[in-house]
Structure 1
C-alpha cells in the first residue's frame, strides 16, 4: 500500500483558555493509505500534550513506524493490521489515525458511510454543544447569547481559572433559562474546592460538571456530596476508569480511545456500568470530527457532544461538519464522507 504522513497546523481565530493552559494552534498529522485498487483512506492523529500528556514527537515517531508496517503489508484491512501497529507502538493518539483511515477506506470501497458500517439504524444528526473558554464575564456572555441565537441548546463553559462565578452568571443571563450549561474544570480543583465551587455555581442551573477533579476516587467523592451530575473526562484514560461507575457520565474522545472501533467499545462499557456516554474533541481536525460524528450517530447519542469546534479555526473547514441549529448532520458520503484537505 502507498502511505503518506503529513503535518498540518490549524490556527485558532481566538486562543482557547482552559485550566491546563492556552492553545492558539492545533497541529495534527494526516495519514493517507492508498491500496492497489486506488481507493484512498484518510485518518488523523491529534494529540494535545498540555491536555493528554502525549508529545507531538512521540506521535510522529509512532506514525512513521506504522507507515513502514503499512507499506510492507498486503492490501487488506482488519484487526490484524491494527494489532501489528499496536505491537510496534501502543499509542492510542497515533493508532486512531490508522483506524480512521482503514474505516474510511472500507466505507469508500463499499460505497457506504462509516455510520452505516457500524449499524443499520444510525441517527441522521448529532446534537452538539458550543464551547466557551475561560473568558472574562462580558465576553462569555456575548458568546452565550450568540450560541443561543445560533440554535445551540447547550454550552460548555471552561472553569477552574479566573472568575468562575461572574463567568457562569453572565452565561446564564445572556443565554437565557432554556440554555443548558455544562461546566468543564479540566481537573483544576481538589475535592473540597470542587464541592464548594459546584455548590456555589449550582444556583445557575447546571446540566453537569465535567472533570471537576482528577482520579476515580476523587470523582466519586465529589459526586457523593453535590446535587449536580458529574462527568469524567481526563480520568477516563486511567485503566478501568470508564467502567468504574465513578461518574454519572463519561466524555469519550476518539484520539484518547485509539480510533472508531475502540471508541464504540468504550461507549458500550460506559453504558454497561450504568453511565451516560457522550463524545467530544480536543479541537481535532475535520477527519477526527467526522469520525466522532459517525460514531455518535451510530450510537444514537442524545446528550450534546462537544464536536462543534471546527469553526474555531482560522482556515476553511468542510461545510458538512459545521453545526446547524445545534446539531451536526452525519455525512452521507462513503467512508468518513468528507474530502480534506482539498
Structure 2
C-alpha cells in the first residue's frame, strides 16, 4: 500500500487558553493508504506538543519508517501491519494515523461503518460536553448559558487559570441546576493546592474534576481527601496508570492510545479495574473525531465525551455538529 501524508492547519475561532499555554491553530497530518484495489483509507496523526510532548517532526519521522512496511505488506492483515509498524516505532500518535486508515479502508471495502465492524449494535449517537475556556468570568458565564440553551447536558470548564472560584460560580449560575459541570485543570495544581480548591468548588455540584494534579500517587492523594469524583487524563501516559485505580474515571484519547484498537483495549482495562472510561479529543481534526466517535459508539453507555471540539475551529463542523448535546454517528461506509 502507498502512504500519502499531507500537513494541515486548523485555525481556532478564538485563542484557546490552557494551563500549558495558548493555542491559536492546530497543525496535524492527514494520511491516506491506497492499495492495488484502489480502496483508500484515511487517517490522522494529531500530536499536540505542549500537551503530550510529541512534535510533528517526530511523527513525520515515524511515518517514514512505516512507509516501506506498508508498501511491502500486501499479504499481511491489518493487525499484522499495525504490529509491524509498532515494532519499527511504537509512537502512539503516528500509529493512530495508520490504525484509523486501516479501519477506514476495511469499512469502505465491506460497505460497513467502522462501528459496525467493532460491535453488533453500536450507539447511533454519542453524548458530548461543551468546552468553555474563557478566562473572563462574564464570558465564561455567557458561554455556559449558550451551551445550556443549545441542549448540552454537560459543560467542561477549564480551570487552573484565572479566578477559578468566580468562574465556576458564574458557570453554575448560568447553567442552572440540571446540566453537569465538569472541571479540567490539566494538572495545574499541586496536591496541597488542589484539595482546598476542590473542597471550595464542590458546593457547585461538580460531575468530576479532570487531572487536578499530575501523577498516579498525586491523583490518589487528592481523590482520598475530596468529596468529588476525580478523573485521570494526562497521567494515563505513565506506566501502569490505567490499571492503578488511582481515580474514579479515566479520560482516553485516540492519539495517545494509538488509534481505535488501542483505545478499545484501554477502555476494557479501565472498566475491569472498576473505573469509568470516557473519550475526549486533543482538539483533533475531522478524521480523528470520526474515529473516536466510532469507538465511543462501540463502547456505548459512556459519560459525555469531549468530541464536540470541531466547533472551536473556523471550519464548519459539518456532519459532526452537535445537536441537543450529542453527535450522530456517521452513516457512511468507513469512518466518515
What does residue 84 of structure 2 align with? 84
Alignment of 1:5-154 (within 5 A): 5-74=5-74, 76-154=76-154
Greater shift, 133-142 or 215-224, is seen at: 133-142
How far has the Cα of 1:301 moved from its partner?
3.0
Counterparts of 1:316 and 1:252, CA distance in 2: 25
How far has the Cα of 1:311 moved from its partner?
1.1
Greater shift, 274-283 or 67-76, is seen at: 67-76
Counterparts of 1:289 and 1:335, CA distance in 2: 13
Residues matched between the structures, number: 336
Q: CA offsets, 1:52-79, max 9 Å, x none? A: 1111110111112212321232265322
Counterparts of 2:277 and 2:206, CA distance in 1: 18
Q: CA offsets, 1:199-245, max 9 Å, x none? A: 01111110000000011111011000000000000001111100111
2:277 and 2:302 in contact (8 A); partners too:
no
Counterparts of 1:160 and 1:46, CA distance in 2: 24
Counterparts of 1:134 and 1:145, CA distance in 2: 13
What does residue 176 of structure 1 align with? 176
What does residue 278 of structure 2 align with? 278
TM-score, structure 1 normalization: 0.96
TM-score, structure 2 normalization: 0.98
1:141 and 1:167 in contact (8 A); partners too:
yes
What does residue 155 of structure 2 align with? 155
The alignment's C-alpha RMSD in Å is 1.0
Query: Structure 2: which 5+ residue stretches go unaligned?
Result: none
1:185 and 1:211 in contact (8 A); partners too:
yes
What does residue 308 of structure 1 align with? 308
How far has the Cα of 1:83 moved from its partner?
1.3
Alignment of 1:192-211 (within 5 A): 192-211=192-211
What does residue 268 of structure 1 align with? 268
Query: Structure 1: which 5+ residue stretches go unaligned?
Result: none
